Chain A
């Protein structure tokens, strides 16, 4: 069983390769797969039919089954079971499948580039269908169900350059998926209630399950929704005529023999057991009857042969669902008989239409003429199949219809509803006869008034498939015993004391025979009166078609979607933030009110008077930042709040924080000044005032809610903090007295690891934002740079005054031949130099670097550490840059920022990973104690190496900021500046005031 299934999928998988080698003949290879499966089925059939159909899995005499565990925790199993019902479906799926694939080899052009994918999809569809009917697990069945939906979408949309194909494919997909989802809900409800998803077990215990009441009623109704969408019952019938945009072999297979039968299969599967639920009969009988009549009526209006068949199929599906869902042994036998008969004759007819379309170039029954005369074999095949459809003896269609009538005659004896049903069925059959005749006349007649259709001779191999199917209709009509044998075991699932009826050509003189005769006579009359009948049809007011309703529903959905998108996706960041923040205010507020948050009972104004003063300074800074209209003033005011924060930290007893905050604030100020120097001084404020009150209100609301949350959280605190143990833990196990630093590099080193990775990414991001094409890591040296060439002409030169005097002094200073204070100071334009700053830099730089190294090493026991050390070193570099320009910075950083980041990350990673090789945990630290000649006894903690990595990365980050926001922006604005010719003409003579004066 599994072998057949897997083999079919496997052949589908390699199909594209076959097609590229063999062209369209590859369809023969593909057809071999289901054909082999069909032979396997015939071999297994005796075992299947003789087994006890109702037996659960594991019981003796149960039908053959295979179970492979899949996801045990979800109760999911790959459970397959081949019982009689599945076998009947398999006859159609494998038999008709093989013939249709065979037929495809003559239908398509060999040079069609999409053929490989198409063949694969068609065979995969057959495999999915096969899996669907074999599946003995609700979820597994659903998976195959959806697989057929998706493959059907692809197959309908085969000619994707046609709008009609694309639209029909999507429509079929949406509708059947909708039904499929409803079904999934129903299946899950059934599975959860039953406690198992094994279909055979559920059906065996169906009686108890149905007694559960409304839950199961609703679940079964949902499953029926899936069945009626798949089987194109009213009101979802319209996707099936639409799907005629598919290539005709696809229509023959999916929309006649196989896929639409999935819904019928589902009804048949659940009928013995769930047929008694609340919504079963209303849904099955009402919708079935409506579908029969609607399909038959519409079929009589169509002029496209394929659409005649499509509406005919709709009508027949109504029949099938109704009969199969009727319950009782007679219904079961009649249902399966009709299922097989319909599969045979409808597939034949579609294949015939395919041949006609292929050779005549049209399917319009108004212009076809002489086709039957041109190809007598085709004529015979079409006539037999149409006769079977119309229920003409001695064909299979007649046998099936007889038993259907018989089943309804029994129901009619019970009362009015049964009689109505019988009447409807007979009426439907009359319509069936009429549209069958319409089909035959349309495609096969030779009429004098119409020019003969150009019809080339049909190759024999093209006719094999329809001929075989037509032969089956004849053979099993005359000799229905084998089919009866296949159908009987399924009927045994229904309770009943009388022996089930048999499929037979001759039952004797029964009411059913009489009805058959009436049907034939009435159908013939309707056919003869077709001209007045069509006139009547045309005159009746047209009901709004379901497809139009569907399209207007989809249209409304579109409108609503556009409306909602338009209202919510305004494209304004401020708008989104406003919504998000409002939610962030309202949600906790509601929670606080509803759940009665704890209230704090102890308050104090402040920890110390100094704290109040610091807070007041910060508040002033905040207000000034809000009100300031100048860019740098606002930045400076925010900077003040930052320095205020440092004081707050210091007062709190957090020296590490105070130190870090102080350093960061300084570097941030430098970065701000560097980045924003080319922007206008005024804060441009186009819409600033428009929503000012709103923004202020939201801000205050947010601040207040945060205050309330904070106080409530503080009041809720009832456990001692875990950090009580940290100082001692840090000292004893981490080897450091500074608990904060040990936390960073040891106890919570993973956090730090993540953080410095972010730092490296941010540094790279800044460099890429400014350098754009690369990280700009190649080093520039000051050697070849002209004296005084950098930053020239960036400032207005005006004569006289203090500025003029200072510049003159600087020019003289630049020419002094003794050792310069800075390496690259000479490269800077004289008006940009500051003697005092250069001297101070010279004095400060090395001191600061030493200090940073001290902070790094001492950080384990005293305030400091890698972060503070790295920031101090970065600050030293910033001073070099500010004093000596970009070449000074390049000279001061012998290693590029990218290298620093890489080395830092490497060190950190190695420190993290090394303990693994020593049998420890990631990031574990060791305390090494040894003796060094000068230092004496040394206690070294390996987490210091981690801190060194942090230090290097922070230096790399600051260097990247200086290089990008400083050096590179310098370079760019200099490149844009039109340098006047006389400037810098003589490098050694500094530009004098006269030089630039006009």
Chain B
């Protein structure tokens, strides 16, 4: 089938500009990029359906080849309306993001950053444990000691020193120190 160069160039331009905007940080531009990509996809479907012709309104006796392809048109029509719904939804998100954070930008996920920065030290795996010699007398004391230790790891997970937990809480306080998370070396401040 014959390739319509104008439509192909148009589609490529839509995609290129759409991707360029999509990779921006500004949410408004991301949304505009999405709209452009949507238009590009519609052009792609249209170009694939063949050349221009008679609109697909049935006229008695007209040969089938004279009509433009009706199936892609139904698909594009659906796509146009869906794009409208998605655009409106994104606008709602942009407004909300502006109200909440006074920012119209795609945020980095601090949780991901935190994971990336964490050390491989894991209390559960790497802490030293004293040998138990009985299941009975030591149970209560052991349970208490371990409970403290577990409380400690919550805020030292990611700390690199083996003795970090013990030294920070002085061995006495069983409750996790809420500020500990922020003091953690290399951690992303919340």
Across the interface, do A748 and B136 meet the contact criterion of CB distance under 8 Å?
no
Interface string of B128-148 (1 = CB under 8 A from A): 010111111101001100110
- Supply 8 further A-B pairs (C-beta < 8 A) apart from A571-B113, A703-B14: A161-B146, A163-B129, A642-B35, A664-B84, A727-B62, A738-B57, A740-B56, A769-B92
Assuming the contacts A164-B129, A577-B22, asked whether A570 and B112 have C-beta atoms less than 8 A apart, the reply is: yes
| Distance, CA A649 to CA B104, complexed state (A) | 34
Across the interface, do B4 and A728 meet the contact criterion of CB distance under 8 Å?
no
| Distance, CA A699 to CA B12, complexed state (A) | 9
Q: Nearest Cβ in chain A — how far from B158, in angstroms?
A: 10
Please name all residues of chain B whose beta carbon is closer than 8 Å to the beta carbon of A623 when the two chains form the complex.
17
Please name all residues of chain B whose beta carbon is closer than 8 Å to the beta carbon of A704 when the two chains form the complex.
12, 16
| Distance, CA A159 to CA B145, complexed state (A) | 14
Q: Nearest Cβ in chain A — how far from B86, in angstroms?
A: 7
Task: Pick the contact of A652: B5, B68, B120 (CB < 8 A).
Answer: B68
Assuming the contacts A655-B55, A675-B95, A744-B74, asked whether A699 and B19 have C-beta atoms less than 8 A apart, the reply is: yes
Interface string of B23-38 (1 = CB under 8 A from A): 1111011001001100
Please name all residues of chain A whose beta carbon is closer than 8 Å to the beta carbon of B22 when the two chains form the complex.
577
B25-54: which have CB < 8 Å to A? Answer: 25-26, 28-29, 32, 35-36, 39-40, 42-44, 46-54
Across the interface, do A558 and B122 meet the contact criterion of CB distance under 8 Å?
yes
| Distance, CA A766 to CA B96, complexed state (A) | 10
* Interface pairs (20), CB distance under 8 Å: A159-B139, A163-B149, A361-B136, A569-B115, A571-B110, A635-B32, A645-B39, A645-B43, A679-B28, A688-B26, A699-B15, A699-B17, A699-B18, A704-B12, A728-B58, A743-B74, A751-B74, A766-B88, A770-B96, A964-B92
Q: Does A363 contact B (CB under 8 A)?
A: yes
Q: How many pairs of A and B residues are in contact by the CB < 8 Å rule?
A: 396
Majority SS of interface residues in chain A?
Answer: helix
Task: Pick the contact of A606: B6, B58, B136 (CB < 8 A).
Answer: B6
Interface string of A665-681 (1 = CB under 8 A from B): 00110011011101110
Q: Does B13 contact A (CB under 8 A)?
A: yes
| Distance, CA A604 to CA B3, complexed state (A) | 6
Please name all residues of chain B whose beta carbon is closer than 8 Å to the beta carbon of A743 when the two chains form the complex.
70-71, 73-74
Q: Does B180 contact A (CB under 8 A)?
A: no
* Residue among A163, A578, A623, A770 with most chain B CB within 10 A: A163
| Distance, CA A751 to CA B8, complexed state (A) | 27
* Residue among A571, A728, A770 with most chain B CB within 10 A: A571
Task: Pick the contact of B111: A166, A571, A671 (CB < 8 A).
Answer: A571
| Distance, CA A167 to CA B129, complexed state (A) | 10
Assuming the contacts A653-B52, A703-B16, A707-B9, asked whether A247 and B80 have C-beta atoms less than 8 A apart, the reply is: no
Q: Does A290 contact B (CB under 8 A)?
A: no
Across the interface, do B74 and A653 meet the contact criterion of CB distance under 8 Å?
no
| Distance, CA A772 to CA B71, complexed state (A) | 39
Please name all residues of chain A whose beta carbon is closer than 8 Å to the beta carbon of B161 when the two chains form the complex.
none
Q: Nearest Cβ in chain A — how far from B129, in angstroms?
A: 5
A881-927: which have CB < 8 Å to B? Answer: none
Q: Does B173 contact A (CB under 8 A)?
A: no
Q: Nearest Cβ in chain B — how far from A563, in angstroms?
A: 9
Assuming the contacts A569-B116, A728-B58, A861-B57, asked whether A702 and B124 have C-beta atoms less than 8 A apart, the reply is: no
Across the interface, do B133 and A739 meet the contact criterion of CB distance under 8 Å?
no
| Distance, CA A623 to CA B17, complexed state (A) | 8
Across the interface, do B39 and A641 meet the contact criterion of CB distance under 8 Å?
yes
Residues of A within 8 A of B (CB): 159, 161-164, 166-167, 170, 245, 247-248, 304, 357-358, 360-364, 551, 554-555, 558-559, 562, 565-567, 569-574, 577-578, 581, 600, 602-608, 611-612, 615, 618-619, 622-623, 625-626, 631, 634-635, 638, 641-642, 645, 648-649, 651-657, 660-661, 664, 667-668, 671-672, 674-676, 678-680, 683-688, 691, 695-696, 698-700, 702-704, 706-707, 710-711, 713-715, 717, 721-728, 730-731, 737-740, 743-744, 748, 751-752, 755, 758-759, 762-763, 765-766, 769-770, 861-863, 867, 871, 954, 957, 961, 964-965, 969
Across the interface, do B36 and A248 meet the contact criterion of CB distance under 8 Å?
no
Please name all residues of chain B whose beta carbon is closer than 8 Å to the beta carbon of A691 when the two chains form the complex.
23
| Distance, CA A861 to CA B55, complexed state (A) | 12
Assuming the contacts A604-B3, A691-B23, asked whether A653 and B11 have C-beta atoms less than 8 A apart, the reply is: no
Task: Pick the contact of B73: A605, A622, A686, A740 (CB < 8 A).
Answer: A740
Q: Nearest Cβ in chain A — how far from B107, in angstroms?
A: 8
Across the interface, do A762 and B6 meet the contact criterion of CB distance under 8 Å?
no
